[in-house]
Amino acid sequence: MSDAIIAVQQLSKSVTDSGGTLDILRDVEFELQRGETVAIVGASGSGKSTLLAILAGLDTPSRGRVLLAGQDLFALAEDERAEWRARQLGFVFQSFQLLTHLSALENVMLPLELAGRRDARAAATRMLQRVGLGERLGHYPRLLSGGEQQRVALARAFVVEPAVLLADEPTGSLDSATGDRIMALMFELNREQGTTLVLVTHDREIARRCERRIVIEAGRARELPAEAG
């Protein structure tokens, strides 16, 4: 049996409407080991975000399997899958996805509280200090810049020390300089925790910073050689 943290096996996703059947993903296969960083690249509409959603168990495949830490995600009931996701995965989105009625500290505390952690406040405070927001604990998202909001999102994702971090265009809403700083911080945190990072991006420079790159074309996946541009 493979000891991969993620194993994608003959994964396909199709949708059918009045216009017929559209194959979004077709027989996608790859494995990721613990601590690896991989960029998922491809043209808009190629299926990158669909693949990420399936890896998270937020969308279901038409065929195939996703094994996360040896567990077949889609052999679990929906509630079991949500519980597994909460224990194993962290998420960072382009639009930050912060809860606007919660402060920065409360946003980062939330996944810890849901996990029953008694040290939620102390752990969230330490993580916000780590991302440079120790003086913004009580600030609400509307009072934070885009870069600061994404730092809160990074803190929320990493505070649970997930086995896998899934990031969907994490710099898409930021200017170039801010995006560079956010990505540098993400890779630093990833190295510190030994997290497996799966990153969907259109940015070639960001993709090159990952150890591996998988391109989605016409629904199929292939790995790019390390030296490819």
Instruction: Please report, for the domain that includes residue 185, its CATH number.
Output: 3.40.50.300
| pTM metric for this prediction | 0.88
Statement: residue 226 has pLDDT above 90? no
- 168-205: per-residue pLDDT in tens? 988 888 888 999 999 999 999 999 999 999 999 988 88
The conformational region for residue 138 under phi > 0 = left, psi -120 to 50 = alpha, else beta, is alpha
With respect to residue 107, please indicate whether it lies within any of the assigned structural domains. yes
With respect to residue 145, please indicate whether it lies within any of the assigned structural domains. yes
With respect to residue 70, please indicate whether it lies within any of the assigned structural domains. yes
With respect to residue 229, please indicate whether it lies within any of the assigned structural domains. no
Count how many domains the chain has: 1
With respect to residue 1, please indicate whether it lies within any of the assigned structural domains. no
Statement: residue 108 has pLDDT above 50? yes
Query: Which range marks the domain in which residue 104 is found?
Result: 6-224
Would you say 207 and 213 are in contact if contact means Cβ atoms under 8 Å apart? yes
Would you say 172 and 149 are in contact if contact means Cβ atoms under 8 Å apart? no
